[in-house]
């Protein structure tokens, strides 16, 4: 029972004062979640109604680079985003998002719209796994 309560609490804290929530997803042109947050083609931003329905979708171009060094967290936060549904994402990017007031949910994959629907239905939880190549792969190249 605790995971269900945690999911509901995460959802409830993500609702802003206008009774809508904005969820960002790093995506590719085919509306699939990109495997790497900082290297996606663009971000799809979903506006969710109080009735848990998608009522608007917008896209933002990605600067493509290391997510922890870009300004995407501030850009998304300024648009009211409070949740990031991501596939692979490093610890630095998670910290930057958290500082901007955005809760990162890791381990997402597949069609972005379907994953957003599953999240607002309480079916998606954070995998707890960071993208490990930032910490362990000496050949990984970011703009750090």
CA 123 – CA 115 distance, rounded (Å): 9
Within the chain, what is the greatest distance between any pair of CA atoms?
46
Task: List the domains of the chain with CATH numbers.
Answer: 2-127 (3.30.420.130)
For residue range 3-59, list pLDDT tens digits in order: 333 344 444 444 444 678 999 999 998 999 998 887 788 999 999 999 999 999 999
The DSSP letter of residue 51 is T
Residue 63, CA atoms < 13 Å, CB-side half-sphere: 13
The whole model's pTM is what? Answer: 0.76
Q: How far is it, in rounded angstroms, from Cα 91 to Cα 78?
A: 22
């Amino acid at each position: 029972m605790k995971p269900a309560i945690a999911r509901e609490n995460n959802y409830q804290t993500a609702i802003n004062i206008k009774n809508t929530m904005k969820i960002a997803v790093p995506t590719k042109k085919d509306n699939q979640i990109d495997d790497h947050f900082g290297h996606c083609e663009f971000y799809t931003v979903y506006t969710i109604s109080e009735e848990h329905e998608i009522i608007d979708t917008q896209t933002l171009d990605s600067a493509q680079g290391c997510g922890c060094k870009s300004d995407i967290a501030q850009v998304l936060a300024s648009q009211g985003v409070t949740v990031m549904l991501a596939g692979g994402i490093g610890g630095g990017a998670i910290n930057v998002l958290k500082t901007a007031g955005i809760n990162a949910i890791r381990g997402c994959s597949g069609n972005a719209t379907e994953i957003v629907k599953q999240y607002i239905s309480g079916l998606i939880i954070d995998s707890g796994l960071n993208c490990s190549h930032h910490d362990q792969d000496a050949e990984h190249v970011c703009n750090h």
